[in-house]
Structure 1
């Protein structure tokens, strides 16, 4: 799909309605939300899950971030990639794809997935439960639409893919704030946002045309 053909949508009500329309009784579907670092993916995905569930039991939607598939810091040290953590080759791509494939076929029992804790800067195994029968999993991550192995297997697993569009200046401001809150000096946070996150964003932004929908990440919840 060319970018000129893509629709730009904002507003939680409209996005919730579109996500709810993906839910089909007796089936499980995956909704992918992607975009560059600092684009607002996590905020949108978690708010969608909260709104869709609305206190319902069993849950309609489950939030599944790709960040649980960061390689361990010890592994990154061994591979010499720690100084660019967050790049596409610092994730267990095959493991992530394998989990998504499982979720589409293993619907009669709980499936457990790793989360990521920024406080320790490491994945936490088995912290996320996708309950049996949950009909919608909202998958969030940077590289869902990258056209290289194994990431190029993901698009075909998604019922829809949404790309968060946010101006670079706003993204950088969010990233510097995030990095300083998690321990970096303002100077180090700015350098990481510009040179590491920024380099990753070049790859991610190139995947925008592969999305089904463009979502405003400037204020997607109004």
Structure 2
């Protein structure tokens, strides 16, 4: 069972100062656990101490299948209703891009897809990871999942951590997020969470034991 990492920032800084080459750290966790906020905070703190663009925080969101791709699935209605489940992501593309980050030499930038929430679709090559970046922090739901195409992620990261946020806290955040983003009533938002996000969360929770460290 993974142990709690008491001072993640100090740990990351030590990696930067003791290892050569680019270091890729993953942060898994359930929907609404705070992965994006935490990785962006670490990015800002590290760059303040080590220099601009020493670290870069990235998200798996850019590897959502597009709405056009979901419409081509055998059951498009189910695909849209379950968007965010592991089979609505481009696992192979994600693995390829992570490994590109890992092997690219210090003379080249790597371009990472973003996700435009206003249109609900990924945006190719939206984010530049410059040659100066030595620490990449990637957050996502399924970094520790190892079924199907996700098996190929084995060995792609230096370490993968798990953000150990209580499920009740994550659910409350998701309800508020759905209300704000989609104009849902609280009842509608809770129904969306129960029919999709919570199912995904249970799968993600089942991967927790594979993490190198827990963070809170």
TM-score > 0.5 by shorter chain: yes
Equivalent residue in structure 2 for 1:9, among 5, 10, 23:
5
CA distance, structure 1, for counterparts of residue 117 and residue 176 of structure 2: 14
CA distance, structure 1, for counterparts of residue 36 and residue 142 of structure 2: 14
Equivalent residue, structure 2, for 1:172: 171
1:188 is displaced (CA, Å) by: 2.4
Bigger CA drift: 73-82 or 62-71?
A: 73-82
SS in 2 for 1:161: strand
Cα pair 1:62 1:130 within 8 Å, conserved = yes
SS in 2 for 1:42: helix
CA distance, structure 2, for counterparts of residue 109 and residue 69 of structure 1: 22
- Give the alignment's Cα RMSD to 1 decimal: 1.6
Equivalent residue in structure 1 for 2:59, among 52, 60, 65:
65
Equivalent residue, structure 1, for 2:102: 104
Query: Is 1:75 paired with 2:73?
Result: no
Alignment TM-score, normalising by the size of structure 2: 0.91
Alignment TM-score, normalising by the size of structure 1: 0.89
CA displacement, residues 14-35 of structure 1 (integer Å, 9 cap, x when unaligned): 1111112222564011000001
Provide structure 2 residue ranges, at least 5 long, that are not aligned to the other structure. Answer: none
Provide structure 1 residue ranges, at least 5 long, that are not aligned to the other structure. Answer: 217-222
CA distance, structure 1, for counterparts of residue 26 and residue 133 of structure 2: 16
Equivalent residue, structure 1, for 2:180: 181
SS in 1 for 2:41: helix
Equivalent residue in structure 1 for 2:93, among 92, 95, 118:
95
SS in 2 for 1:120: coil
CA distance, structure 2, for counterparts of residue 206 and residue 31 of structure 1: 20
Cα pair 1:41 1:140 within 8 Å, conserved = yes
SS in 2 for 1:129: strand
SS in 1 for 2:182: coil
For 1:16-35, list aligned pairs within 5 A: 16-23=9-16, 26-35=20-29
CA displacement, residues 2-60 of structure 1 (integer Å, 9 cap, x when unaligned): x2xx21235xxx11111122225640110000011011111111101011101754411
The alignment covers a number of residue pairs equal to 209
Which 4+ runs in 1 deviate beyond 3 A? 55-58
